[in-house]
Amino acid sequence: MTKEELALEVIERLKKEYPLAQCTLDYDQAWKLLVSVRLAAQCTDARVNVVVEDLYAKYPDVAALAEAPVEEIEKIVRPCGLGKSKARDISACMKILRDQYQGKVPDDFNALLKFPGVGRKSANLIMGDVFGKPAIVTDTHCIRLVNRIGLVDGIREPKKVEMALWKIIPLEEGSDFCHRLVYHGRDVCTARTSPFCEKCCLKDICQKNGVESKK
């Protein structure tokens, strides 16, 4: 089975297993996802979803958050870790949105990369989820699982993983595929315990790279 064939089979099986997979960060406006992806660095999505409730209660729109003192933002987002840098980046992002984009998140990948604290992973997430454009989000779940399954060979650097996946994942499938990897990585192909290979929908086609017992 070629990597392209393996990719298509993995995609179809994960679709059946997680038909409603979606972004695990809560948001109802694009600028809120921009905030959440910055807060999610080295923090769980579940905690981010709780913290932003307080942030938006006090600063309900782009203009309000752009005007907020960085110190006040930091007090709220501190539970997400790296409070100073995250607060500084969020403040700067909101000012850019307000001053350059009339409060609207741009639907341009390269423009997103110019926002403080926004890397390829975050830009891809926004492009795929908000704008429905081709996207591959190489978060920790994605990198770990595509190596374990055998879709990439020992590649750990996020951009290199992304480039490798672009060659074998259909453009229209990338965003949802990565969301499904998050679900699968949390529920079955876990990192902190031995993966539950016996109940995995991919058990007969996964290479199980790095798994001690290949059941």
Catalytic status, residue 129: no
Tell me which of 89, 129, 139, 176 is the catalytic residue: 139
How many whole angstroms separate alpha carbon 165 and alpha carbon 160?
Answer: 9
> Active-site residue 139, yes or no?
yes
Residue 155 and residue 164 in contact, taking contact as beta carbons nearer than 8 Å: yes
Q: What angle do CA 201, 120, 129 make, to 5 degrees?
A: 60
Cβ neighbours for 156, distance < 8 A, ≥ 6 positions apart: 143, 147
Say which of 3, 32, 86, 121 is annotated catalytic.
121
CA nearest 55: which of 95, 24, 86, 100?
A: 86
Q: Is 126 exposed, middle or buried (0-12, 13-18, 19+ CB in 10 A)?
A: buried
Give the residue numbers marked as catalytic: 121, 139
